Amino acid sequence: MELIDGNKTAADIVAELKAEVAALPGRKPCIALVRVGDDPASVSYVKKKEKTAAEIGIESRIILPPISITQDELFNILDDLNADPTVDGILVQAPLPKHIDEVAVFRRVSAAKDVDGFNTINLGKVAQEDDTGFVACTPAGIMELLARSGTDLKGKHVVVLGRSLIVGKPVALLALQKKTGANGTVTICHSGTSNLPAITRQADVLIAAIGRPEFVTADMVKPGAVVIDVGINRVPDASKKTGYRLTGDVHFPSVSPLCSKITPVPGGVGPMTVAMLMKNTVKAYHLATAS
């Protein structure tokens, strides 16, 4: 069983981007990070993004509106960033407060600056296999982990567990594409799927993104499968100082001995998400400066 090391792969991508950005003439790429309120997880995610940007040489602008901001006020901030030629990428940190429509916010970010890949146009470009768009960071990271670990999806049965807009749907579309490394045969399962273990057991590559801790057990996995665990769940654990431990959507102790390759949690898909966000920002810079 081979562990697919997301920390190492993400570090490789950051190093590649750092070299690329260092060689750029004129202004450096710039990402605007918008964080509404002080959700503790969001605070730490934005800090991590800011730190990685600085390491690469990407400028980041942190915008911190109060949790009481109205949707229209947030739209005004986004409209200003959309119009600012010195900003290449815009990320609005989810989750947003309940009174703000998240999808409407994703749509408000200009497609050309939507480095998170959630704008309707960018999702459509994934379906049309148009490389000028931006792929959502977690699915892009999953494809990069598969490619760099030598897992070619051609002719393989890829089973995606979960149908979210952020992971399940886009990763299924990416695995289907007529491209090197893709060309998989894809099945999408979810909470409404009957006889789920019978389907997941057919997977040559199983991508678990269902958001339920240790949901995938040994009886659901075919021996020799490649398993990508997208879940990051906090589970109470009295033995830990924090009082919890992080676990994925896969029961690692029972599933990992069966696999040919598997991602750990933490240190698998997670670090890739930030690396791909930076890759998208550099791409947005190139697209903006070329036009």
- The catalytic residue positions are 49, 93, 116
Of the chain, the end-to-end C-alpha distance in Å amounts to 47
Rounded CA-CA distance 226/16 in Å is 26
Report the candidate in 93, 140, 84 with the shortest Cα–Cα distance to residue 113: 84
